[in-house]
Amino acid sequence: MAVAKKTTTKKASAAKTVKSAPKKAARDKVVLAYSGGLDTSVDIHWLQENYNVDVIAIAVNVGQPPSKDDIVARALRNGAIKADFIDVRKEFVEDYIWPALKANAMYQNVYPLSTAVARPLITKVLADVAKKEGAKYIAHGCTAKGNDQVRFDVGLISQNPDLKIIAPMREWVTTREEEIDYAKKNGIEIIVKKSSPYSRDENLWGNSCECGILEDPWEEPPAGAWAYTVDPAKAPAAPKYIEIGFEKGIPVCLDGVRMDGVKLIETLNELAGKYGVGRIDHVEDRLVGIKSRETYECPAAITLIAAHRGLEALTLPKDTIEFKRIIEQKFSQLIYDGLWYEGLRENLQAFID
């Protein structure tokens, strides 16, 4: 484990003439990608203990459901020297979701990349805070099994190659029970939710669910795996029509009512979710080489991509559509692989725009 130097002892010659007590050497700082959940709450203490660093806890609002308590205040009570909850929903929609929508971006033709497309923005926010605070380290809560560790590492390094990345959950392989024990022993305040067999990630563009019984592809996802959509069998019998207005490939109104992107996506998530639209059950090929069964609920994304493709069918020449489908595949793969800041993504974006 790479451990930060505990102190920097400089032999200052001027020290002999100065009477005041020697100043405590400033500790290095780490910006922690913080969610308020068990892992990242415990990480605040773990980072101080193992790396002797000051922790700045940053939560990024990309439209995940709010926590039951004030997670910023709790991070401070748990020892962070600073904490913040930064709302980037508008930027998320305009600079990440809309470009993905214009590309009809779907990984393996089924998953609208909801988790993947948020990661580059989160890394940008963290790197910006690190720069402002003069922090040398960034920490994230990803484990060694998923795609997100790669997306964080690659995203952060593309922002600033000098940043040093710490992933506590890659170094400290632990169980939920051990973490709860560690929290108790160290007086860490946590919100212990009812233990869930699933691991979820949520934002405006969609919700993902993995682990538990889902790992058996013979099993149909149980009702409890779905949290944001109504079972299509229980949806209202009468269909509902909704008119989506686009300008330059970007949705701007619903049934003639103009609204900003965040509101438009929230509204569609609720509306289409009530009809069971946007449920996805997928055995996915992860970037790290494993297959994993996941379910997704992405009502707004699925509705908007279908509408956007319909619009293209009406307006684009045949050859352009065919060629765009090839570009879209590559574009989606780049997002999935955490390569948003790669030059090729920008070049493909220019064609798509």
The answer to whether 36 and 59 have CB atoms below 8 angstroms apart is: yes
- Catalytic residue, candidates 27, 28, 35, 39: 39
Q: Which is nearer to ligand ARG, 18 or 288 (CB)?
A: 288
Stretch that binds ligand ARG, among 19-27, 37-45, 193-201, 344-352 (CB under 6 A): 193-201
Minimal distance, residue 122 CB to ligand ARG, in Å: 13
Q: Which residues contact 312 (CB under 8 A, 6 or more apart)?
A: 104, 321, 324
Q: Which is nearer to ligand ARG, 211 or 271 (CB)?
A: 211
The answer to whether 159 and 184 have CB atoms below 8 angstroms apart is: no
Minimal distance, residue 225 CB to ligand ARG, in Å: 11
The 3-state secondary structure of 248-260, one letter per residue: CCEEEEECCEECC
The 3-state secondary structure of 212-253, one letter per residue: HHHHCCCCCCCHHHCCCCCCHHHCCCCCCCCCEEEECCEEEE
The verdict on 294 binding ligand ARG (CB under 6 A) reads yes
Stretch that binds ligand ARG, among 12-20, 73-81, 206-214, 232-240 (CB under 6 A): 206-214
The answer to whether 50 and 157 have CB atoms below 8 angstroms apart is: no
The answer to whether 246 and 308 have CB atoms below 8 angstroms apart is: yes
The verdict on 78 binding ligand ARG (CB under 6 A) reads no
Stretch that binds ligand ARG, among 62-70, 204-212, 227-235, 247-255 (CB under 6 A): 204-212
CB count in 10 Å sphere of residue 163: 19
Question: Could you give the CA distance from residue 186 to residue 283 in angstroms, rounded to a whole number?
Answer: 40
Q: Which is nearer to ligand ARG, 136 or 282 (CB)?
A: 282
Minimal distance, residue 215 CB to ligand ARG, in Å: 12
- The one-letter amino acid code at 289 reads G
Q: Which is nearer to ligand ARG, 153 or 294 (CB)?
A: 294
Options 208, 269, 303, 332; binder of ligand ARG; rule CB under 6 A = 208
Alpha helix stretches (DSSP H) within 7-145: 38-51, 71-77, 89-92, 98-102, 114-133
Residues from 248 through 287 that contact ligand ARG (CB under 6 A): 284
Stretch that binds ligand ARG, among 74-82, 159-167, 170-178, 201-209 (CB under 6 A): 201-209
Options 41, 64, 147, 159; binder of ligand ARG; rule CB under 6 A = 147
Backbone angles phi and psi of 283, in degrees to 5: -95, 110
Q: Which is nearer to ligand ARG, 77 or 286 (CB)?
A: 286
Q: Is 119 a catalytic residue?
A: yes
Residues at the site binding ligand ARG, with contacts judged by CB under 6 A: 115-116, 147, 199-201, 208-210, 284, 294
Active site residues: 39, 119, 148, 199
